[in-house]
Structure 1
Amino acid sequence: MNTGAYVIDVRDGRVGQVMGREGGYVQLRPPGGGREWDCPPEAVEPAPVAEELRARVRLVNREGRLP
């Protein structure tokens, strides 16, 4: 997975944005920010288009609220 891509952690269904790789894991961050979590690469699947669009809207909305 490329950095910045939106994916699903199939273990629990959470959508995350790929932030990088560390120690054999993919580091994911929730759309719009928050605490990153580690996910094994075999548990990562590309997010469906609808989920990616929702994630991008959350990010734009969050940025619009910042001072």
Structure 2
Amino acid sequence: MPGKCVRTEQSEPPPVPEIGTLMVDVSRDRVGEFRGEWCGWWCLRPVCGGTEWAVMPEAVQLARPEERLRAETARANARSRGELL
């Protein structure tokens, strides 16, 4: 059914990461900072600020070293431009 989220398999959910861990939402190909869990969904926030989004834990993986470096560089550049507090 379109627009409806249905789990097809009953598997053990991945362990909840620490707040601030850089994660990749593979369904959107976006890097975000883990902000918490809400009703089984994980909340991620863009590294340079912005609106959080929710994603199923199965669609998230830890950011690889090059993805972390790219995200941390983007955050430092935004801070230097005064876009982040």
Match of 1:28 in 2: 44
Which structure has more relative contact order (CA 8 Å, sep 6+)? It is 1
Match of 1:44 among 50, 60, 73: 60
Structure 1 residue runs of 4 or more that deviate by more than 2 Å after TM superposition:
none
**Number of equivalenced pairs:** 67
Q: Higher strand fraction: Structure 1 or Structure 2?
A: 1
TM-score relative to the length of structure 1 = 0.88
Give me the identity figure in percent.
Answer: 39
TM-score, length basis structure 2: 0.71
Residue-by-residue CA offset, 1:16-54 (whole Å, 9 max, x unaligned): 111111121111011211111001111110011000111
Gapped regions of structure 1 (runs ≥ 5) = none
Equivalent residue number for residue 64 of structure 1? 80
The code of the aligned residue for 1:34 comes to G
Matched, 1:4 2:31: no
